[in-house]
């Protein structure tokens, strides 16, 4: 038994998730009466996802802010870098939202037991703005008030930076907490095959294989979103601001984009991107060595686009028709959440809760969406990481031109 268990763990997680997905489909099609018997596994998986959301949001955003406290990252170059990444992130969220509204990939999606969600009376603009500042952060953490948590996380991180040497132990604690959370997420992810098995079995038993139509539409939207972000945002920066040949830039960046796709990791792409910036794009070492590491932490254009798209997907799946205020909140919260996304597998799915909570969607409903999308997220993650890798090199070249150190 122990040997069998070890062999199971030796199988890559994505393969185990695919096996769980296939098993859920087979149970839903050929033994639908068994779906209720294993439904508790899906419920347990959803509860574990909900358990992780608040600590991930707080620790990843606070530690992300403190990571910018390195003296080499401060000053004009650091300021330009953060501002430019913030702009591209907001653009990416907007592009994801627009694509979601136009194509409607979530319309009619069968996400487990989710029903159309009533959001109640909308808050006024004054109440929304005032609610960003928490009166009691402990209460906000307990209730999952994501806008308040994000505000406090950023303020806390900046305060740690301002504290200088005295704040370093807290900064180190946040970094350590981030690494601990990474392992906690890894433990929860080990249960993903069982959770997927139960959730997919229930969905297929109730709705048939039509449940996969929406996933196919979501994947198509991700591809369109990545292309749109590169064409509409990165290309103008490369051509008009960095003043580089677009063809030459992407010929040089190809290796980094391939590594980004194959690893689904911005951090893993960093060494290749650094070599490209120095040797092919001829960017000053001081600029490249400052901008690219910051970009690996906060330059998440692909994640930002996906958060915007997935937020609209979730609202459509829940039967919610967003008004202008809700769309504005999705844009604001999605930009902030994507900016602080932790470097952990499928982190953007956990950050989705921050966006959904801001517009009144319950954690239970959001967790069902996460469980529905998670089995397919590896391929989607690989695709959207390409946009993040492109953004990192684009911003590096742009900041180099602003600093007068780039070459045309």
- CATH code (residue 216): 1.10.3860.10
Cβ–Cβ under 8 Å, residues 298 and 403: no
- The per-residue pLDDT for 2 is 56
| 353 is a domain residue | yes
- The per-residue pLDDT for 342 is 57
What CA–CA distance (Å, rounded) separates 69 from 201? 48
Cβ–Cβ under 8 Å, residues 395 and 81: yes
pLDDT in tens, 9-38: 778 776 787 788 788 888 988 888 888 898
Domain count, the chain: 1
| 1 is a domain residue | no
- The per-residue pLDDT for 291 is 78
Task: Determine the structural domain holding residue 250 and report its residue range.
Answer: 13-402
pLDDT in tens, 170-214: 988 988 887 787 788 778 778 878 887 887 788 778 767 666 788
| 397 is a domain residue | yes
Among candidate residues 85, 150, 146, the one with its CA nearest the CA of residue 302: 85
- The per-residue pLDDT for 153 is 82
| 5 is a domain residue | no
| 408 is a domain residue | no
- The per-residue pLDDT for 110 is 67
Both tokens of 339, joined, read 């900016």
One digit per residue, the tens of pLDDT, for the chain of length 408 reads: 557 777 777 787 767 877 887 888 889 888 888 888 988 888 787 778 778 777 877 887 777 677 655 544 445 666 778 889 889 999 999 999 999 999 999 887 766 544 444 444 445 555 656 767 888 888 888 876 766 777 888 788 888 888 888 888 998 898 888 778 778 877 877 887 888 788 778 877 876 766 678 888 999 999 999 999 999 999 999 999 989 999 999 999 988 888 788 667 776 677 788 888 888 888 887 778 777 777 776 778 998 999 899 999 989 888 888 888 889 888 988 887 776 665 555 666 667 777 887 777 777 777 777 777 877 776 788 788 899 999 999 999 998 887 644 443
Both tokens of 300, joined, read 């998440």
Both tokens of 335, joined, read 């930009």
Both tokens of 274, joined, read 């650094």
The answer to pTM > 0.85 is no
Cβ–Cβ under 8 Å, residues 279 and 266: no
| 241 is a domain residue | yes
- The per-residue pLDDT for 284 is 82
| 6 is a domain residue | no
- The per-residue pLDDT for 96 is 95
- The per-residue pLDDT for 407 is 43
What CA–CA distance (Å, rounded) separates 89 from 17? 30
| 8 is a domain residue | no
Concatenating the DSSP letter of every residue in 348-369 gives HHHHHHHHHHHTT--HHHHHHH
- The per-residue pLDDT for 249 is 93
């Amino acid at each position: 038994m122990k040997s069998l268990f070890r062999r199971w763990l030796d199988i890559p997680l994505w393969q185990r998730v695919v096996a769980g997905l296939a098993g859920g489909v087979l149970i839903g099609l050929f033994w639908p009466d068994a779906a209720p018997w294993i439904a508790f596994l899906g419920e347990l998986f959803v509860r574990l996802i909900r358990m992780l959301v608040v600590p991930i949001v707080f620790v990843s955003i606070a530690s992300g802010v403190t990571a910018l406290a390195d003296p080499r990252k401060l000053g004009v170059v650091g300021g330009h870098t953060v501002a430019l990444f913030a702009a591209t992130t907001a653009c990416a969220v907007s592009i994801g939202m627009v694509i979601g509204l136009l194509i409607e990939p979530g319309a009619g999606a069968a996400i487990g037991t989710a029903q159309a969600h009533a959001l109640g009376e909308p808050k006024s603009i004054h109440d929304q703005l005032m609610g960003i500042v928490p009166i009691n952060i402990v209460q906000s953490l307990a209730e999952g008030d994501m806008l308040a948590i994000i505000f406090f996380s950023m303020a806390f991180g900046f305060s740690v930076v301002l504290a200088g040497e005295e704040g370093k132990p807290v900064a180190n604690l946040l970094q350590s907490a981030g690494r601990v959370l990474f392992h906690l997420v890894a433990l929860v992810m080990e249960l993903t095959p069982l959770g997927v098995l139960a959730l997919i079995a229930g969905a297929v038993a109730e709705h048939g294989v039509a449940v996969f139509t929406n996933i196919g539409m979501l994947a198509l939207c991700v591809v369109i979103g990545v292309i749109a972000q590169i064409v509409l945002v990165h290309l103008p920066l490369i051509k008009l601001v960095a003043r580089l040949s677009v063809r030459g830039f992407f010929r040089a960046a190809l290796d980094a984009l391939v590594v980004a796709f194959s690893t689904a990791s911005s951090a893993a792409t960093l060494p290749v991107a650094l070599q490209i910036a120095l040797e092919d794009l001829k960017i000053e070492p001081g600029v490249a060595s400052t901008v690219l590491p910051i970009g690996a932490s906060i330059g998440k254009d692909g994640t930002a686009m996906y958060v915007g798209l997935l937020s609209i997907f979730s609202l459509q799946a829940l039967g919610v028709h967003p008004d202008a205020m809700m769309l504005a909140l999705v844009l604001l919260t999605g930009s902030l959440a994507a900016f602080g996304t932790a470097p952990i597998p499928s982190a953007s799915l956990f950050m989705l809760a921050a966006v959904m909570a801001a517009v009144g969607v319950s954690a239970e409903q959001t967790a069902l969406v996460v469980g529905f999308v998670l089995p397919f997220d590896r391929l989607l993650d690989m695709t959207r990481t390409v946009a993040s890798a492109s953004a990192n090199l684009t911003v590096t070249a742009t900041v180099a031109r602003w600093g007068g150190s780039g070459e045309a």
